Structure 1
Amino acid sequence: MTTIRDVAELAGVSIATISRVMNNKGKVSEETAERVRAIVKELGYVDAKQPLKRRQAAPKLQGVFAIILPTLSNPYFAELLDIVEQEIQYMGRSLLVYNSRGDIQRELGLLNICKQQKIDGLFIVPSSNKPEHIMTLNQQPFPVVSLTQLHAELTSVAVDHAEGGAQVAEHLTSMGHTQIGYLGPADENEQKFTGFRNKLAELRILLPVERIIDTPDVSAPELSARFNAYLDQHSVLPFSAIFVFNDVSAQLVIETLHARGYRVPEDVLVVGFDNTLIAQVMNISSVAQPIREIGRLGFQEMMRLIEQRGTESDIHHLILSPRLVLRNSSVRVLKKIL
């Protein structure tokens, strides 16, 4: 291995002169400096101290984090925000809150704002699962932690959505139903849907296209309009039980069914996802996510990434277990008469 002494001997100067040239300190003639640099390049000499200095020159932390959520109107994300903010405030840091409104272009603009703010790290619920968008998140100059969604290229903390969907399928079939429907995003990236569909197939229950109401990235009014349009096309309800991908949408489905004279759960069972305050107040069966654990573990992962900044940090995927909470929308609960 080439040493600084080898460079000095070949250049005909002292070790101190080599050090001054390598560190751009002290007075050295331009002719000597050029000769030293040429020999350094020829020998492939690397100062062992240089990497250490580069590691020490890591960006100074600002004490400011950011979180980008797809909506602030869903109680689930409001609760997640509250937990993350508590963790950050406890550590004496600040949190910038942004709403992407589920729009990719808006989210890209918010990423640029985060760069300008020189944040220490970003928590995000991505508005899109497309590989190119996730790759963009992975290339940011600050650590990024995905919450509630799992992505191979990002450190992520989430519940097992596929398992949650499977639990719903098992519950609805255990109640004796075979005409089962689904409302929500119905693509292969939506793990709630794929887990639900695959478990039904395992149980030999069909989920035909006509009982799938695909509602990707739509607002509550548009979702309600699509469900009404679907019901207008069917004089007889095509399903006796339905899985809805979140609690806000489940409540809209129940309101629409009631308006058309259907009873829940007597005529149709309804199950949501997230177990938010809406589900608890409106008595909707729903898949509970350990939201506090997601927020706390997400913050712990963020601090790990910050501590390892400047090194090749490992990508961690923390997958938590869901739990189906049964209420009046999918089971008949008899009140005890005292």
Structure 2
Amino acid sequence: MTTIRDVAQLAGVSIATISRVLNNSDKVSPDTAKHVRAVINELGYVYSPPLSTRRSAADRQQLFAIILPTLANPYFSELLDIVEQEAQFLGRALLVFNSRGDAQRELALLNACKQYKIDGLFIVPCSRNTAHLTSTERQPFPVVVLTKLVSEMTSVAVDHIEGGAQVAEHLVSMGHTAIGYIGATDETEQKFLGFRDTLMTLGVPLATENIIQTPALTAGEIAERFKEYLDAHPSLPFSAIFAFNDVAAQQVIEVLYQRGYKIPEQVQVVGFDNTLLAQVMNISSVAQPMREIGRLGCQEMIRLISDKERDTRHLTLSPRLVLRNSSVKVNMRRF
């Protein structure tokens, strides 16, 4: 992480001069100030002015912020719209930041929020590993995590294990005995764990060759990874596949169509999130109660701001599998 000392050293000035520039002091010449700001931009230094850990109601700016991992996935765009509506109802404006799936950028944005004197921050972690968030010193504002449960932080999320289990139960009930999965597969990816473990319990274990690991966030990267898998498997080894989100499900369906497969006659596909994308493309998907996530997230934020209760809470909501044409019952080819 770049420090003010790093900036001063590269700019060839004192730390005091850097501080004066950051605070817009008129004691620094325009040329020096311009040079210092150029160095700050080059190093990506984020200024975090000291703030007291708690502010009185009179000091509050009626301002929330949210850090999202991407806006390319319609799920996060829909979540943003809901949180903004809830914040507006509470009389707060909402600053929006995009970490672009980068943990270092996410941490820099977290620190940058300090200078805006926000009342509270919502965050959807870009990584399943949240050590970089929980290891930072206490923020001068409350933080509420949305869509994921983080043990050290107040969180609101759907039960991903149950969501994965529902997909497994559905596909087995449809008669599938060879089932695939595309997405992240580490021990923190709960929807995968619920899916895999339930398949095992139902006597249809998830074969290693049917797992396509792709922690990628962009549609293009997911499509390329799936194409590589199909190139290595000219004869598709499964008759149904669970995609870790709706963007992945869409890409899987489009690539399968390109390769001549029929959906759902030959391959059935289920996604996760039940976004507008899934609804428009008629993809079966696990619905997350986003309206409830946004409402409870704001409710928890107000609780933390009030200073009456500062304890960490974890609110878990139930998912619901919504069935559509991508996984309906048809005369399937057996594998």
The ranges of structure 1 where at least 4 consecutive aligned residues each deviate by more than 4 angstroms after the TM superposition are 54-59
Q: Name the residue aligned to 1:228.
A: 227
Q: Give the unaligned 5+ runs of structure 2.
A: 1-52, 331-335
Q: Name the residue aligned to 2:314.
A: 317
Distance 2:107 2:130 in 1: 14
Taking the TM superposition and a 5 Å limit, the aligned residue runs for 1:122-201 are 122-136=121-135, 139-201=138-200
Q: Name the residue aligned to 1:114.
A: 113
Q: Name the residue aligned to 2:272.
A: 273
Taking the TM superposition and a 5 Å limit, the aligned residue runs for 1:298-313 are 298-308=297-307, 313=310
Residue-by-residue CA offset, 1:262-295 (whole Å, 9 max, x unaligned): 0111001100001111111110000011100000
Number of paired residues? 279
Distance 2:174 2:137 in 1: 44
TM-score by length of 2: 0.80
Alpha-carbon deviation of 1:59? 8.3
Taking the TM superposition and a 5 Å limit, the aligned residue runs for 1:12-91 are 60-91=59-90
Residue-by-residue CA offset, 1:76-130 (whole Å, 9 max, x unaligned): 1111111111111122211100111111011111112101111111001001232
- Conserved? CA contact 1:138–1:154, under 8 Å: no
- Conserved? CA contact 2:130–2:150, under 8 Å: no
- Conserved? CA contact 1:134–1:153, under 8 Å: no
Segment of structure 1 superposing worse, 242-251 or 72-81: 72-81
Letter in 2 for 1:181: G
Q: Partner of 1:221: helix, strand, or coil?
A: helix
Q: Name the residue aligned to 2:323.
A: 326
Alpha-carbon deviation of 1:60? 2.2
Q: Partner of 1:329: helix, strand, or coil?
A: helix
Letter in 1 for 2:255: T
Letter in 2 for 1:166: A
Distance 1:74 1:288 in 2: 15
Taking the TM superposition and a 5 Å limit, the aligned residue runs for 1:214-253 are 214-253=213-252
Q: Partner of 2:325: helix, strand, or coil?
A: coil
Quickly say closer, same or farther: Cα 1:118–1:57, change in 2 above 3 A: closer
Percent identity for Structure 1 against Structure 2: 68
TM-score by length of 1: 0.79
Distance 1:68 1:249 in 2: 22
Alpha-carbon deviation of 1:136? 3.6
Residue-by-residue CA offset, 1:197-229 (whole Å, 9 max, x unaligned): 010111111112211101013421111111000
- Quick check: which has more Rg, 1 or 2? 1
Distance 1:332 1:86 in 2: 39
CA RMSD in angstroms comes to 2.0
Distance 1:56 1:240 in 2: 57
Q: Give the unaligned 5+ runs of structure 1.
A: 1-53, 334-338
Q: Name the residue aligned to 2:13.
A: none
Quickly say closer, same or farther: Cα 1:77–1:92, change in 2 above 3 A: same
Q: Partner of 1:142: helix, strand, or coil?
A: coil
Distance 1:314 1:208 in 2: 42
- Conserved? CA contact 1:138–1:144, under 8 Å: no
Letter in 2 for 1:213: I
